[in-house]
A and B are shown apart, each in its own frame.
Chain A
Amino acid sequence: MASGVILEVENLRVDIPVAAGMLHPVRGIGFSVSRGETLCIVGESGCGKSLTSLAIMGLLPKTAQRTADRMDFLGRDIRHLGEREMARQRGGSMSMIFQEPMTSLNPSYTIGNQLAEVHLRHVGQNRTAARDRAVFLLEKVGISAAASRLGQYPHQLSGGQRQRVMIAMALMCGPELIIADEPTTALDVTIQAQILHLLAELQREFQMGMILITHDLGIVARVADKVQVMYAGKTVEEGPCETVFDAPMHPYTQGLLRCIPIPGLTRRGERLGSVPGIVPNLVGTLSGCMFRNRCDHARDACANMRDEPTHMGDGHAYTCLRAPEEILGERQAAGTP
């Protein structure tokens, strides 16, 4: 275990039996997160990024099967932990924030009850301590009059406030790792920025490892240390945030980057790029590069391609048949970064 590494995952796969055969939504994902580091997992909906996070938490649907070559959390193999042991980890040393703040809180219980509950479960049966911690964290996440909010029900709060409560709930037991699955998608744009800022700040303050799952590259650029681009259940490109943004190698990453407006560079009225086509069906035996039917550079060999990433140094790697020289040469010819 490298120093400061919290979570290390290798070759994670999720398989779900469906009527038509076996669905392979996650097909061999690997990454590591260190203390104080933010890893962003990026991709379209349906690429398996949410299932990846649920797989780590042990929250997959009952029918789903999870396999991995390695899943070490805090130096401990969590692949074969039973439900009881996993439950002890969840909410304690690893916690999760979901994308639907409106429905993720139980409507029948007060905020205070739902916050204290985590503390009582993982830290100990001390109601005063749990309450104090809840008030402290509610203030931390920017909720005013925190003590009086404890008696409120979820429906009395706005969406942004609820997501703040969810964040406070995730932090109740001082987790080492926090997984945020599209935490701002359901919120207004102005609130999105606030929540994101808050998350980044708290992550720095408490020195947690964070996995942020999103489809929004704008968010990634602001908070990520490392980026992992997923397509059809596989990593197509990964590396340090700046490197990936400056020199995207995979055609899918390039396509995604064309979709974000860049202040100053994107002119008003100019059409943003898009990645045409739809995510392929992931049922049955799959082979070759799954992006080939949407790719401008597809060639016959893509159908038989093996998953051997090309390493560019500094942890930057991509999985495509095209040689680095070809991509870089083309970029110079086009004159765009």
Chain B
Amino acid sequence: MTNTNATISLMFRQQQTAEDILEPSPWSKLRRRILGNHSFLIGAVILVVIVAVAILAPLLAPHDPYDQDLTKRLTNPFWHEKKIDPDHALGTDKVGRDYLSRLIYGSQISLLIGFSTMLISGVIGTVLGVTAGYFGGRVDMVVNFIINTRLAMPVFLVAMAAVVAFGASLTVVILVLGLFLWDRFAVVMRSITMQARDLDYVKAARAMGCSTPYIIVREIFPNVLSSLTVVATVEMANAILLEAALSFLGFGVQAPTPSWGLMLNEGREYMFFSPWLLALPGVCLFLLVLAINLFGDGLRDVTLERER
């Protein structure tokens, strides 16, 4: 920064301190920051809606998502003029299952995959990253090698191969993605832990003879928590997209499970005549991933400002 800019920002800061004194409480400040942060709000609202839909699926869905009715195959959604069925607002798929109900239940699959993958990869990545960052030296070198090896593996191809090897099922997809998507956690946690390790109070704790696990859990972990949450949202979105792509190619969740990716796969052969079979699950996927990304971006902005 130039001296001039520094001087100007110094002047700004003086002004802000004056405001700080007038500010009643840090909580109202945080609240205002959250309300002022549109992306966080929009993301959070969409996310809450989708989670609510997933939880309340049995109540919301007009039909059983597995109920086939071959007499009502491929009826159109309500905006079409011909071949609509008032019983199926968003139409039916190739075996006459209610599309709306399948879309509603699909949110369960996506959220389940996203969340469990995030938990598994989060644990692996955080343990690796914090270990490397805290101990440094040879430990760091080994972890670094593991991270690089993981990055060199073509995730999608290896995930497909693993699904072929162990059989396609929800559990396999979750495990495979969970075992693969920890790299970002590890990289971020490693660098943050390295910075945190050099903080004065962490040094002080070490000088006082606190045990390493104690220091990591009590002194370092609170530091990395906000970054951890942001990375978690990124990985969750990533996992949801990957599951959809795997299921779309037939290497993921198997029929008749209502997964959005699988629905895209099943709708593909009708793309010329019933493009909405492809459009709808894609829009759902897009909205969910968008919401998670906005939420994560907003979270980063909110926490960054607080730390400043």
Residue contact B3 to A20, C-beta cutoff 8 Å: no
Residue contact A99 to B3, C-beta cutoff 8 Å: yes
- Lowest 10 A-B CB distances belong to which pairs? A20-B15, A50-B4, A46-B7, A281-B14, A50-B3, A99-B3, A18-B12, A283-B15, A45-B7, A23-B11
25 examples of A-B residue contacts, CB within 8 angstroms: A16-B8, A18-B11, A18-B12, A19-B15, A20-B15, A20-B19, A23-B8, A23-B11, A25-B8, A45-B7, A46-B7, A46-B11, A50-B3, A50-B7, A51-B4, A61-B5, A98-B2, A99-B3, A100-B3, A181-B3, A182-B3, A281-B14, A281-B15, A283-B11, A283-B15
Question: How far does the alpha carbon of A51 sit from the alpha carbon of B3 in the complex, in Å?
Answer: 10
Task: Return the CB mask of B196-211 against A: 1 if under 8 Å, else 0.
Answer: 0000000000000000
Question: How far does the alpha carbon of A16 sit from the alpha carbon of B7 in the complex, in Å?
Answer: 12
Which residue on chain A has the smallest CB distance to residue B15?
A: A20
Since A25-B11, A100-B3, A182-B3 are in contact, a sample of 5 more A-B pairs with Cβ atoms closer than 8 Å, ordered by chain A residue number, is A18-B11, A23-B11, A46-B7, A98-B2, A100-B2
Contacts of B18 in A (CB 8 A): 20, 281
Interface members, chain A 37-51 (any B CB < 8 Å):
45-46, 50-51
Question: How far does the alpha carbon of A147 sit from the alpha carbon of B163 in the complex, in Å?
Answer: 66
* Count of interface residues, chain A, beta-carbon cutoff 8 Å: 20
Task: Return the CB mask of B275-299 against A: 1 if under 8 Å, else 0.
Answer: 0000000000000000000000000
Task: Return the CB mask of A23-36 against B: 1 if under 8 Å, else 0.
Answer: 10100000000000
The reply on A282 being an interface residue by CB < 8 A is yes
Which residue on chain B has the smallest CB distance to residue A21?
A: B15
The reply on A74 being an interface residue by CB < 8 A is no
Which residue on chain B has the smallest CB distance to residue A182?
A: B3
Closest Cβ–Cβ distance, residue B287 to chain A (whole Å): 35
Interface members, chain B 1-30 (any A CB < 8 Å):
2-5, 7-8, 10-12, 14-15, 18-19
Which residue on chain B has the smallest CB distance to residue A48?
A: B7
Residue contact A46 to B12, C-beta cutoff 8 Å: no
Question: How far does the alpha carbon of A106 sit from the alpha carbon of B287 in the complex, in Å?
Answer: 44
Contacts of B14 in A (CB 8 A): 281
Closest Cβ–Cβ distance, residue A219 to chain B (whole Å): 16
Question: How far does the alpha carbon of A117 sit from the alpha carbon of B15 in the complex, in Å?
Answer: 41
Question: How far does the alpha carbon of A50 sit from the alpha carbon of B7 in the complex, in Å?
Answer: 9
Task: Return the CB mask of A260-290 against B: 1 if under 8 Å, else 0.
Answer: 0000000000000000000001110000000
Contacts of A181 in B (CB 8 A): 3
Task: Return the CB mask of A81-102 against B: 1 if under 8 Å, else 0.
Answer: 0000000000000000011100
Closest Cβ–Cβ distance, residue A97 to chain B (whole Å): 13
Residue contact B10 to A46, C-beta cutoff 8 Å: yes
Q: Choose among B5, B10, B11 the residue with the greatest number of A CB atoms under 10 Å from its CB.
A: B11
Closest Cβ–Cβ distance, residue A234 to chain B (whole Å): 16
Residue contact A18 to B3, C-beta cutoff 8 Å: no
Contacts of B3 in A (CB 8 A): 45, 50, 99-100, 181-182
Question: How far does the alpha carbon of A283 sit from the alpha carbon of B8 in the complex, in Å?
Answer: 11
The reply on A5 being an interface residue by CB < 8 A is no
Question: How far does the alpha carbon of A18 sit from the alpha carbon of B10 in the complex, in Å?
Answer: 12
Question: How far does the alpha carbon of A317 sit from the alpha carbon of B118 in the complex, in Å?
Answer: 71
Contacts of A100 in B (CB 8 A): 2-3
Question: How far does the alpha carbon of A16 sit from the alpha carbon of B10 in the complex, in Å?
Answer: 14
Closest Cβ–Cβ distance, residue A69 to chain B (whole Å): 23
Question: How far does the alpha carbon of A18 sit from the alpha carbon of B9 in the complex, in Å?
Answer: 10
Task: Return the CB mask of A221-259 against B: 1 if under 8 Å, else 0.
Answer: 000000000000000000000000000000000000000
Question: How far does the alpha carbon of A155 sit from the alpha carbon of B8 in the complex, in Å?
Answer: 29
Question: How far does the alpha carbon of A46 sit from the alpha carbon of B13 in the complex, in Å?
Answer: 13
Residue contact B4 to A54, C-beta cutoff 8 Å: yes
Contacts of B10 in A (CB 8 A): 46
